[in-house]
Amino acid sequence: MVAYYFPPVAASGAMRPLGFCRNLAAYGWQPQVLTTTPECVYPSHQVDLKLGERVPADVEVIRVPYIDRLQRVLQYREMLKGMVRRGPAHKSASNPGAAVRPPDSSPGRSTLKDFILDWAFAFPDRQCGWLSQAVRKLQAHHEKDVPQVIFATGGPWTNFLIGDTLAKHFHCPLVLDYRDPWNCNPYYSFNSDALTRKSRATEAQVCQGASHVIANTDELRERLIEEYEFLRDRCTWIPNGFDRETLSPPHVPQERSGLGLTSSGYELCHFGTVYGKRTPRILLQAVWELFQENQLKPEAIRLRFVGGWDTTDQECEYYAANLEKYGFLRREPPVSHSVCLREMQRSSVLLVLQPDSPLQVPAKIYEYVATGRPLLLIGGEGATANLVARHGLGVSSPNHIARIKALLKDLTTGTQRLVPPDAARVNRFEYRSLTGELAAILDAAVRPGR
């Protein structure tokens, strides 16, 4: 199992391989995991030792460290700058009035620079420096213990290239596992058209060589088949899920209100990092405008964000600061995974932010589902909205201010109700049963004649 993110790294991408690892033995498969060391993970993630303890003792975890090539180059550059500053020829220090030339910002030079940087340090992604180290380590490690199947879960997409290389080396089947879209991912792109074409060709080549391809949503499975017709008979979908045994007891809060109400109104709780396109700006603006229009009070709607706040959107920060001032919003630092699970179970309503991602479902949503609490989704289109509607998990709204304001008013007046999901629907997402679907794919991959 090639899994760049793996416990004790508390990344959302680590939960799926962990869930499979904990349950594969029951279906006759013994996993070995190829991953990197926590300090090498890019971008850096919180380390949760209790999460690491959930890896079964009989699962061998091979950790291969590596050095990020771009970080090394940047370190060398800073060293050289320091040497120049200390040298006698540093003219700007002795002549502070001297003119400083701006960097060359011509489009041609910028495009060439971006191409070189992406090609050398970020293809197919920033984790590319791990590829050669991981392949070399496993080829030596398994001289007498050849795996029957290579299972690679992505992203990062470097995992797929490692899996492809190892499968060819060991002459065994390759199973690819998409936790996110690759080239049709709104969070993944290159500035260079040449590298974009190369990335698409690389994905096609790797999929062509795979025995089976798994997507974590039906929408992504359909998109993959649309892009690569040759996958029609060997592409299925297995959703993300949760492992009930890893959840802090009690699994479901003992006391709950059918409407998801606290004693003084709704508290919409978001757990995880706010970043990039996954921003609450429109939601915050909707709450702020309702407050300004005297249609909403903090006694009726409150927002709680637990985790990193890495958005650079100044408008989002403006609304957040004002809502904090008037008691609508609380921001709290990241907590350990076990504490996070406990806080989810205590929440009245769990908030999901998933705008502009029609093919993706955030991994965190399945831990939300496990708590039995109702969900409120901002991003009412695509795979996540379909999941919420199909299984009766809560309510959703497109990421449009008028629609969000209407939903919030409906919630406070009782026109819209939040009902906890049915227990049978929740159980559909247990990794114990999902791993059975994976095991059937692995069995088929090694069956004689395949």
Q: Does 403 map to a domain?
A: yes
Q: Does 91 map to a domain?
A: no
Q: pTM for the full model?
A: 0.78
182 shares its domain with 304: no
249-296 pLDDT, tens digit per residue, is: 444 443 443 344 455 589 999 999 998 888 999 999 999 999 999 999
DSSP 315-343: HHHHHHHHHHHTTSEEEE----HHHHHHH
Beta carbons of 19 and 241 less than 8 angstroms apart = yes
Residue 302 sits in a domain whose CATH number is 3.40.50.2000
**pLDDT band at residue 185 using 50, 70 and 90 as cut-offs:** confident
Degrees to nearest 5, angle at CA 354 with 348 and 358: 135
At 302 the three-state DSSP class reads: strand
Degrees to nearest 5, angle at CA 15 with 14 and 17: 75
First to last CA, the chain: 20
- The conformation of residue 98, written as its DSSP 8-state character, comes to S
DSSP 175-205: EEEESS-STT-TT---S-HHHHHHHHHHHHH
Among 260, 441, 289, 276, smallest CA distance to 357 is for 276
Token match 């991959």: residue? 445
Among 335, 323, 324, 331, smallest CA distance to 304 is for 331
25-78 pLDDT, tens digit per residue, is: 999 999 999 999 999 999 999 999 999 999 999 999 999 999 987 766 666 566
Among 2, 154, 24, smallest CA distance to 439 is for 24
184 shares its domain with 253: no
272 shares its domain with 335: yes
234 shares its domain with 336: no
Query: In the chain, how many domains are there?
Result: 2
Q: Does 3 map to a domain?
A: no
> Is a pLDDT exceeding 60 seen at residue 339?
yes
Domain that residue 174 falls in = 12-68+123-241+431-446
The per-residue pLDDT for 92 is 37
If you compute the radius of gyration of the chain from its CA atoms, what whole number of angstroms results?
24
Q: Does 105 map to a domain?
A: no
Q: Does 177 map to a domain?
A: yes
185 shares its domain with 312: no
- What is the spatial distance between Cα 185 and Cα 357, in angstroms, rounded to a whole number? 8
275 shares its domain with 358: yes
Among 341, 360, 155, 343, smallest CA distance to 243 is for 341
* Beta carbons within 10 angstroms of residue 300's beta carbon: 18
229 shares its domain with 348: no
275 shares its domain with 405: yes
37 shares its domain with 139: yes
349-369 pLDDT, tens digit per residue, is: 999 999 888 888 988 899 999
- What is the spatial distance between Cα 170 and Cα 142, in angstroms, rounded to a whole number? 9
Q: Does 115 map to a domain?
A: no
